[in-house]
Amino acid sequence: MNKILMYILAAGVLLGGIDQLSGNKRGYGKCLEEGFMLMGPTALSMVGMLCLIPLISAGFRSFIVPFFSLTGADPSVLGGLLAIDMGGYQLAKDLAENPVVGSYAGVLISATFGCTLVFTIPVGMEIVEEKDRGAFAKGILTGLAALPAGLLAGGLLCGLSFLEVFWNSMPIFILSLLLGLGLKFFPDGMMTGFRIFAKGMKLLITLGLLLGALSYFLKQNLIPGLAPIEDALAVVASIGITMLGSLPLAEFLRRLMRKPFRKLGHRFGLNETSVSGLMIGMVSPIPQLTSMKDMDSVGKVANTAFSVSAASALAAHAGFTLSVEPNIVGALLTAKVTGALAALAAVLLLQKKKEVKKR
């Protein structure tokens, strides 16, 4: 599976590279450039946290893991509270008692629930217009409700049993329920909370980056246990190389699937912006969120629900996983696609039921 994905990504690099050499006539060359240019923002959001992860892990082991162990779940699940590319993977692997559960939590949970918690919700609540926040909250709630389908499918492919996946994911399911209810009934309070959380994360990431850079220049660790900044940058470089292929490939798939998706959208009453948002979100959720103002009412909910699992599936998350756990990239993509399709189906079915009732 890993070799096949590598060949596919290599084809994406060729597609973008050849188009770039021929004057970017089809737009794939621009995607190649964008993939490389994303390394800067990716490094800025990742490197500081990756430098601090050994210290955070030690703190978790001392103060949180003893209490969390009472749930019976593997402590690695705590890593799922962070996005996969913001330290979630490293934290999960450091805390893992079972290495397979550590991989499951660090890749699958972090790339879905963790990404939603630390990125999609805080960023989305800032980007989305006030009139659309109800639809955004409803979409997050639906996406979180559908998340178990994706985690189960992906967890089984990781080599875990049904009971292992279910039991170790139970804390995440409970948090998902509480998060969804909070967004539905206390949106203003949740927004304030996430703003504070986002500022805290930014402060932590900047501190880690500062300590990592100073340690590099002074040739000594300012804090014992701090991870070298070079190691963190090596992870970013791996993601950047993957995005050189994944972005041209994602653009090719978007064009290929435009007509079928348009027909599907027409059938379920989704406008073109709503349909294209679903495909764009699998590369980056930011342009998907910024275009929500132009979507129809169902499309706003559908896109948000879809993004809970699908966000960055074809770009940063696939790239990160290829650099650290290439053998479970298939499980990651299965989890993301299954969860996203389950969420999308739930939104469209609920909409259809409403229409039937009106008749």
- pLDDT at residue 359, rounded to an integer: 62
CB-count exposure of residue 272 (10 Å: 0-12, 13-18, 19+) = middle
- pLDDT at residue 257, rounded to an integer: 81
Residue whose C-alpha is closest to residue 24's, from 235, 306, 248: 248
| Tokens linked to 184 | 């539905």
Region for residue 295 given its phi and psi (left: phi exceeds 0; alpha: psi -120 to 50; beta: otherwise): beta
Q: How many helices (H) and strands (E) does the chain have?
A: 18, 0
Sign of CA dihedral 204, 208, 211, 213: negative
| Tokens linked to 113 | 């629930």
As averages over each run of 10 residues, the pLDDT of the chain (359 residues) reads 81 95 94 88 89 95 92 95 93 96 98 94 87 91 95 97 96 91 85 86 94 96 93 89 86 84 83 89 88 93 96 88 91 97 94 73
- pLDDT at residue 291, rounded to an integer: 92
- Report helix, strand or coil for 227: coil
| Tokens linked to 66 | 């003893």
Task: Give residue limits of the domains in the chain.
Answer: 2-352
The answer to whether residues 89 and 57 touch, using CB atoms and an 8 Å cutoff, is no
DSSP per-residue letters across 255-305? HHTHHHHHHHHHHHT--HHHHHHHHHHTT-HHHHHHTGGGS-HHHHHHHHH
Region for residue 98 given its phi and psi (left: phi exceeds 0; alpha: psi -120 to 50; beta: otherwise): beta
Q: Is the pTM for the entire model greater than 0.85? A: yes
What is the enclosing helix (H) or strand (E) of 119?
A: none
Looking up tokens 């990404």 gives: 115
CA distance 13 to 240: 12
The answer to whether residues 169 and 155 touch, using CB atoms and an 8 Å cutoff, is yes
| Tokens linked to 312 | 């960055």
DSSP per-residue letters across 41-88? HHHHHHHHHHHHHHHHHHHHHHHTHHHHGGGSS-GGGGGGGS-GGGTH
